[in-house]
Amino acid sequence: MIKSLQQLLNNCDEISIDSNQVTKKTLFIAYPGNNFDGRDFIDQAIQAGAVGVLYDKNNFHWKKEWEIPHLGIDKLKKILPEIAGSFYGNPSADLKLVGVTGTNGKTTSVHWLSSCLNRLGKKTGFIGTTGYGDGTNINPTKNTTPDILTIQKILRDFKKKNTSHIAMEVSSHAIDQGRIDNLKFDIKLLTNITRDHLDYHGNIENYIECKSNFLLNSGSGECIVINNDDPVGHQIIEKINKKKNNLKVLSFGIKNASYLMARNISVSNGRTIFNLDHNEERYKFDAPIFSRYNLYNILGVIGCLLELKINIKDIQSVISRIEGVEGRAEVINLNSSNRPNIFIDYAHTPDALENILESLRQHNPQNLTLLFGCGGNRDKGKRQEMAKVANQLADNVIITSDNPRDENPIDIINEISRNINIPFKKIEKRESAIIHAINNMNDDDILLIAGKGHECYQEIKGKKYPFSDKKIALDNIRKTVIR
C-alpha cells in the first residue's frame, strides 16, 4: 500500500496530467480542472500503462478494480506546483528566467530577447505562443504558457542542455490558474495591458488585477521592467513606490519620465532610429522596425538586457540586427517598387489592431484593406471595438471567419458587420477571403491579413484543421499579378 507521495514519485520516471501522454513508468495526476475532471480519465491512464495515480480525493471514490498504486490528496491542484518543482529538480533556480506578460507584444519581446542573448553568447531558450526552443529547433505547445508540469519539464530539459537563460511568455490564464507558481523569476517584464480575455476574467478590472498581481507579488532579488507609458503600468509603478518594499523597478517610456527614455524618434525605410537616455547618458539606436508600438517592445528588451548586465554597446549592436517574428507584422510580399504591400499579423485585440493599422498608414497606401474576423467562444465585446478600429483606420474591410470554435461563423461575421460603416465585404471561408483580397488589390495598396498570424490551424467545432494564412496568401500571390 502506498503511504506517501514520495513512494509514488520514486516509482515513476515521468509525471503527467494528460492521459494521452501516459506511457509505462508514468505517474498519472488527476484532479478537477476548468473544463474537464482528470479523474474521469484514470481508466484510460491505467490502460496506457500508468505506474501509479495521484488524485484529488475530494468527492471521489477510488474503484476497487483499479489495482494500481495510488494516493488521494485533498486540494491536490494547490500543491501541484511544489510537486512538479520537486520532481524536476526546481530548474528555474539555476536559470536566469525572464517572464514577459502583457496583452500585446509578449511573443515579439520573448523572441527578440532570446535572439539577442544568443547572439551575445548566452545560451537562451524561449517558451511562448509559437512554441518552445532555442531559435533553431522549435517544439509546439498547447498554450501560450504550458501547464505547470510541462513548464518544469521544459526548464529541466533546457538545463540539461546547458541553457543559461530563458525568456518565457506569461499569460493571464497561467497566472490565475497557478501554472507559474513555484517558479523563480529573475526579471518580470510588462509590455502593456489593454482589453482581452474578458470571457475568462469576467471584466477588465479582474484582468488588470491578475496581471498586476504577477508583478506586485514579486520577491527580493526580482526586477520589474515595466512600460511607464501604459496607464496600468504607470499605476503599478506608483503602487510599488508606495509600498517601499525595495523591489527593483526599471521603467521605460517615450512620453512619461522613465529610467529608459526613447527620444528623437525617426522612422523611415523600415527602420527606426532613436536616442536612448539612460543614466544621464545618450545612446543612438538603429532598429529594423517600422512602428512605434514595436519601439516599446524594443525598450522592454533593452531593459531586460541591462538588468542581465549586458554592456550597452553590445546591446546597440544586437538590437540593430533583430529579425522579424513569424506572424507579427510579417511582410509576405513586395510591390513593383520593392515596398511591402501584404502583411500578416496576429492582432486579435482592439489595441493590437489599432497599432498595426496605424503603422501601416504611415506607408501612405492608395487603399488600406483589412481582412479579419473574431474568435468564437471568446470575449464578444471585442467584436464591436475591433469594428470601430477598422472604421477609423482602414479604407475597406473583408470580414471573414477566424477560429469560430463552437459558434456559427456567420453569426460572428454579422455581429462585426453591424458595426462597420466603411465599404466592406463578407466572405465566410477564410481561404476564399484571402484569395479575393489579393486578386482585387492594386500595386500601391496594402493588405493586412489579421487575427491568426503564425497559426497553422483553424479551430472549428472542437477540431483543429490545417490552415495557414501565410501559405494560402503566398500560393495565391504566385498565381496572381497584382496590378
How buried is 53 (Cβ within 10 angstroms: 0-12 exposed, 13-18 middle, 19+ buried)? buried
pLDDT of residue 2: 62
CATH code of residue 187 = 3.40.1190.10
pLDDT of residue 186: 97
Same domain? 169 vs 304:
yes
pLDDT of residue 290: 87
pLDDT of residue 347: 97
Same domain? 235 vs 358:
no
How buried is 119 (Cβ within 10 angstroms: 0-12 exposed, 13-18 middle, 19+ buried)? middle
Of 290, 319, 348, which marks where a domain is finished? 319
Q: What number of other Cβ atoms are within 10 A of residue 34's Cβ? A: 8
**Count of domains observed in the chain:** 3
CATH code of residue 44 = 3.40.1390.10
Using DSSP bridges, classify how beta strands 368-372 and 446-450 pair: parallel, antiparallel or unpaired: parallel
Same domain? 397 vs 311:
no
Same domain? 423 vs 443:
yes
CATH code of residue 345 = 3.90.190.20
Same domain? 44 vs 177:
no
Same domain? 29 vs 139:
no
Same domain? 98 vs 70:
no
Q: Which residue has the cell 539577442?
A: 116
Of 294, 319, 344, which marks where a domain is finished? 319
Give a yes or no: residue 287 inside a domain. Answer: yes
Give a yes or no: residue 84 inside a domain. Answer: no
Of 15, 46, 74, which marks where a domain is finished? 74
Same domain? 372 vs 267:
no
Same domain? 218 vs 312:
yes
Domain that includes residue 340, residue range: 330-479
Same domain? 67 vs 189:
no
> Three cell numbers at 276?
536612448
Give a yes or no: residue 166 inside a domain. Answer: yes
Give a yes or no: residue 411 inside a domain. Answer: yes
Same domain? 440 vs 292:
no
Give a yes or no: residue 79 inside a domain. Answer: no
Same domain? 148 vs 252:
yes
Give a yes or no: residue 220 inside a domain. Answer: yes
pLDDT tens, the chain, 483 aa long: 466 899 999 999 999 999 999 999 999 999 998 889 999 999 999 999 999 999 999 999 999 999 999 999 999 999 999 999 999 999 999 999 999 999 999 999 999 999 999 999 999 999 999 999 997 889 999 899 999 999 999 999 999 999 999 999 999 999 999 999 999 999 999 999 998 998 999 999 999 999 999 999 988 889 999 999 999 999 999 998 888 677 899 999 999 999 999 999 999 888 999 999 999 999 999 999 988 899 999 999 999 999 999 999 999 999 999 999 999 999 999 999 999 999 999 999 999 999 999 999 999 999 999 999 999 999 999 999 999 999 999 999 999 999 999 999 999 999 999 999 999 999 999 999 999 999 999 999 999 999 999 999 999 999 999 999 999 999 999 877 555
Give a yes or no: residue 260 inside a domain. Answer: yes
Q: What is the pTM of this model?
A: 0.93
Q: What number of other Cβ atoms are within 10 A of residue 82's Cβ? A: 13
Give a yes or no: residue 169 inside a domain. Answer: yes
pLDDT of residue 481: 55
